[in-house]
Each structure stands twice: as structure tokens, then as C-alpha cells.
């Protein structure tokens, strides 16, 4: 391995250590409370899953006083005194699993590290320069909102990471015409939306290349591959949603 490659690897490793170290210091503080009410929604229902093996929470106070307003923030009523999260259930499942396997909140930070690596690969592949890839990774790793949300238990970073991965595989598919990359691109994008549905707006990033390369992209084989992957995950998506919300 050349000295240049060694420096690049050391740079990436340093970024990984930075994110994880920051996370360790932050989340090990015993008096921690959520940064914002948005965190409490995922944490509350993750606890509900672990303790009661279900997404639905029953309001004992509403039942006792015959009122409708004792409910978790960011929840939706799905029955009499029964509430489910507005946050996508997939992210809450990730939180619950991270608690069960003793990862605590590191799951979000780990996804942030993976996002840095994917961004490095994306920039390096587009510009054919490892140096620019490393610069891009550094800029992302030290971008204040990225650092902040990598250390907050919300679904923004995990969803964004899958979107960056989707974009990377999309670019590779355009250049190499390998349908494995199309499958991965579609898969990553669907998972990104499943974790955070509003991120479907990020599909705008694909519009320009879709218009420029429409003859190459809109073939029967390409559409069949993309639709097949999409249908499988849409079925899973609605299946889990139906089990949660009815």
C-alpha cells in the first residue's frame, strides 16, 4: 500500500474514532435527557416494544379521567385510549434492537460513520480522486449538523446514510451498467424512505440523470429489476405498518 493510500486510510479511521469518541463521551453522561422532544418519541416506543412486545401504548390516565389528551408527543390515536408512534416503526425497531444488544445509542453513530465512508466512496468515484474523496469525507464528518444528528436518537442520519449509499450505487450503475448496482441503489433508497418517509423528497436528486439518460435507464430489464425490489419491500413496509396501525 502506498503512503498516499495509508494517509487516506488513516484519515478515514480518524474520522471514525472522532464520531465514536464524541458519542461515547456524550451518551455516557448519567444525567442525560433528550436534546429535543423529537427524541422522546422513538425512545418511548422502543421501550414499549422491549417491555411489552408491541408498538401500541394504552393511556391509563385517559381511561381513568375520560379525557383524550394524555398521550406521548408525536403519537397518533389508533383506538380508544390507544396510541402508536408517528415516527416510522422501522427506526423504532432499530432503537429497540440497539438496546437489546447493548449498543445503546451507538447505532445512530455507527450509521453516521458508515455515511462518511459512503460519501468518501461517492466523491472519490465521481471525481476519480482519493484526495477529493477524503476532503469530502472530512467536510461531512465535521459539518456541525451532521455531528449533532449523529449523536441524537432521531431517524435523520440513518435514513440519510442509506440515501448516500443509494446515490453512490446509482452513479456506479450509470457508468458500469451493472444491474447489481441498480438493485443496491433501489434497495438502499427504499430503506431510506422506510426509516424516514419524508426523505422521499430526496428523489429529486435522481431527476437530472434520469432525464439525461432516459433511453439507457428506461428499459424493460432495468424497470423490471427496480420494480421487483420495490414490490418486495413495499409488501414488507405495508405489512409491518398494518400490524402496527391496523
Residue 142 has pLDDT above 50, yes or no: yes
243 band by pLDDT with thresholds 50, 70 and 90: low
Query: What's the confidence (pLDDT) of residue 196?
Result: 87
Residue 25 has pLDDT above 60, yes or no: no
Domain ranges of the chain: 3-28+98-245
- Range 101-120 average pLDDT: 80
Query: What's the confidence (pLDDT) of residue 31?
Result: 47
Alpha-carbon gap, residue 65 to 159, rounded angstroms = 39
212 band by pLDDT with thresholds 50, 70 and 90: low
Full DSSP string of 138-194:
HHHHT-HHHHHHHTSSSSHHHHHHHHHHHHHHHHHHHHH--HHHHHHHHHHHHHHHH
Judged by DSSP in three states, 76 sits in: strand
- Range 1-13 average pLDDT: 67
Alpha-carbon gap, residue 194 to 132, rounded angstroms = 31
How far, CA to CA in Å, does 243 sit from each of 14, 86, 120, 180, 246?
42, 14, 38, 32, 6
**Residue-wise pLDDT tens digits, 47-69:** 888 888 777 888 888 888 888 77
CB of 51 within 8 A of CB of 174? no
How far, CA to CA in Å, does 46 sit from each of 7, 83, 118?
40, 14, 28
Alpha-carbon gap, residue 241 to 243, rounded angstroms = 5
Alpha-carbon gap, residue 167 to 159, rounded angstroms = 13
> How many C-beta neighbours within 10 Å does residue 139 have?
12
Give me the torsion for CA of 26, 103, 107, 117, rounded to 10°. 90
Residues forming a β-bridge with 58: 82
242 band by pLDDT with thresholds 50, 70 and 90: low
Q: What is the share, in percent, of the chain residues with pLDDT greater than 90? A: 9
Amino acid at each position: 500500500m502506498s503512503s498516499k493510500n495509508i494517509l487516506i486510510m488513516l484519515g478515514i479511521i480518524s474520522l471514525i474514532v472522532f464520531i465514536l469518541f464524541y458519542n461515547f463521551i456524550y451518551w455516557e453522561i448519567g444525567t442525560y435527557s433528550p436534546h429535543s422532544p423529537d427524541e422522546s418519541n422513538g425512545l418511548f416506543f422502543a421501550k414499549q416494544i422491549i417491555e411489552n412486545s408491541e408498538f401500541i401504548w394504552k393511556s391509563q390516565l385517559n381511561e381513568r379521567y375520560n379525557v383524550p389528551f394524555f398521550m406521548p408527543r408525536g403519537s397518533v390515536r389508533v383506538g380508544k385510549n390507544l396510541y402508536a408512534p408517528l415516527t416510522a416503526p422501522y427506526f423504532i425497531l432499530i432503537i429497540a434492537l440497539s438496546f437489546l444488544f447493548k449498543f445503546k445509542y451507538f447505532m445512530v453513530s455507527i450509521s453516521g460513520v458508515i455515511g462518511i465512508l459512503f460519501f468518501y466512496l461517492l466523491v472519490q468515484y465521481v471525481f476519480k480522486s482519493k484526495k477529493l474523496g477524503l476532503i469530502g469525507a472530512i467536510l461531512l464528518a465535521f459539518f456541525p449538523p451532521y455531528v449533532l444528528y449523529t449523536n441524537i436518537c432521531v431517524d435523520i442520519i440513518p435514513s440519510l446514510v442509506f440515501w448516500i449509499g443509494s446515490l453512490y450505487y446509482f452513479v456506479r450503475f450509470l457508468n458500469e451498467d451493472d444491474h447489481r448496482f441498480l438493485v443496491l441503489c433501489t434497495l438502499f433508497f427504499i430503506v431510506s424512505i422506510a426509516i424516514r418517509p419524508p426523505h422521499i423528497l430526496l428523489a429529486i436528486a435522481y431527476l437530472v440523470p434520469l432525464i439525461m439518460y432516459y433511453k439507457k435507464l428506461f428499459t424493460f430489464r432495468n424497470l423490471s429489476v427496480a420494480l421487483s425490489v420495490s414490490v418486495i419491500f413495499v409488501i414488507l413496509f405495508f405489512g409491518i405498518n398494518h400490524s402496527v396501525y391496523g
